[in-house]
Structure 1
Amino acid sequence: MALIQQFPVLLASALRHDSVAPRWSQLGWAVLRVVAGLFMIHNGLDKLADIEGFAVAYVEVIGLPFPIFFAYVAAFTELIAAPMVALGLLTRVAAFGLLSTMAVAMFHHIKVAGFSVPYLELSAIYAAIFLAFTVNGGGMFSLDQLLVKGIEAGLNRSSRQRLESLQSSLEATERVIALGEEEAEAAKAAQS
């Protein structure tokens, strides 16, 4: 009987979006980032291995001008941005680049095979993952977070120094005002 009464509570706890501690959630986010980034690298390598073949089979088919140029753009975007996502370095920018290549890949698959799940599946999954990283960033366990901490520490030092400078300026101003008041009182006393 007690288990039946506890079932709704247990179910609600299991379904809550925040039922996992933030650290564990961020660890899962980091694992997804690293795996997606590392597995995306081979796509860029495959393109570079036969850049002309890729340009003809993929870029020309969808009607982009300068197929060799765009084939290199896609290959180097994947070769540069994928490790950046894996490391969590400038994650939003890198993920947006990869999201763009996956959007073009999805367009190619739709143009060639229609809305065929086997053709669209992988590029759609990658696109969804890179969209999530474009929106949410690299997370707690990323180089981005280390950069943020460094920047904020520098800003705090800079702010502290500015505050101390303002404090000493205020104190100097107060001394000048006090001296001016003393001189004014001395002048009044001399006139009397």
Structure 2
Amino acid sequence: MMGTRGTALGWTLVRVAFGLLLALLHGLPKATGDMNRFAEGVATIGFPFPLFFAWCAVLSELVGGLLVAVGLFTRPAAAMAAFTMMVAIYRNRANPFERMELALLYLAVMVAVLLIGAGPYSLDARVRRRP
């Protein structure tokens, strides 16, 4: 687990910041925007049922990001978000590195969440402590 209180607080800050940013700056605008247009982009990379997979991506960013932020079902939520970031990296493979940079950063943090877990300051930890 986490060695010091400072390490645990630092990890919590990273987890909350990246989870909220993913949810509020990426998932929410897509969920409240033109899903058909987003689905067209999903179709261009070869996904069948593009509207369905567009919603999967949006929910992994919105709901997954919120779950990572509060630390509930953290590892499954991070796995979904990480997969979505891998698709985003693939989608932008022909574009300059700057287009992939944000997805790479989110992917790195979500993989770290998968490896480390939510930490002691999370709803997952609180649920585990219940008798």
Band of TM-score, shorter chain: over 0.9
Please report how far the alpha carbon of residue 40 of structure 1 lies from its aligned counterpart in structure 2 after TM superposition: 0.5
Give the aligned partner of residue 73 of structure 1. Answer: 56
Q: How many residues align?
A: 127
Q: Which amino acid aligns with 1:47?
A: K
Q: Which residue of 2 aligns with 1:82?
A: 65
* Greater radius of gyration (CA): 1
1:121 match = 101
Task: Look up the match of 1:55.
Answer: 39
Unpaired runs of at least 5, structure 1: 1-20, 154-192
Tell me which residue corresponds to 1:10. none
Once the two structures are superposed, the pairs formed by residues 24-173 of structure 1 within 5 Å of their partners are 24-41=6-23, 42-48=25-31, 49-56=33-40, 58-110=41-93, 112-113=94-95, 116-150=96-130, 153=131
Structure 1 residue 131 displacement after superposition? 0.4
CA offset digits 1:78-98 (Å, max 9, x no partner) = 121111100011111111111
Greater helix share, 1 or 2?
A: 1
Q: Work out whether residues 26 and 141 of structure 1, in 8 Å CA contact, stay in contact via their aligned partners in 2.
A: yes
CA distance in 2, matches of 1:85, 1:143: 10
Q: CA deviation at 1:39?
A: 0.4
The 2-side partners of 1:131 and 1:63 are apart by 25
Distance in 2, matches of 1:141 and 1:103, equals: 28
* Cα contact 1:47–1:71 (8 A) shared by 2: no
C-alpha deviations, 1:120-167, integer Å up to 9, x for none? Answer: 1000000000000011110011111111111xx3xxxxxxxxxxxxxx
1:95–1:133 Cα contact (<8 Å) kept: yes
Secondary structure, counterpart of 1:78 in structure 2:
helix
Q: Which has the higher contact order (CA 8 A, sep 6+)?
A: 2
5+ long unaligned stretches in structure 2: none
Shift of 1:46: 2.1
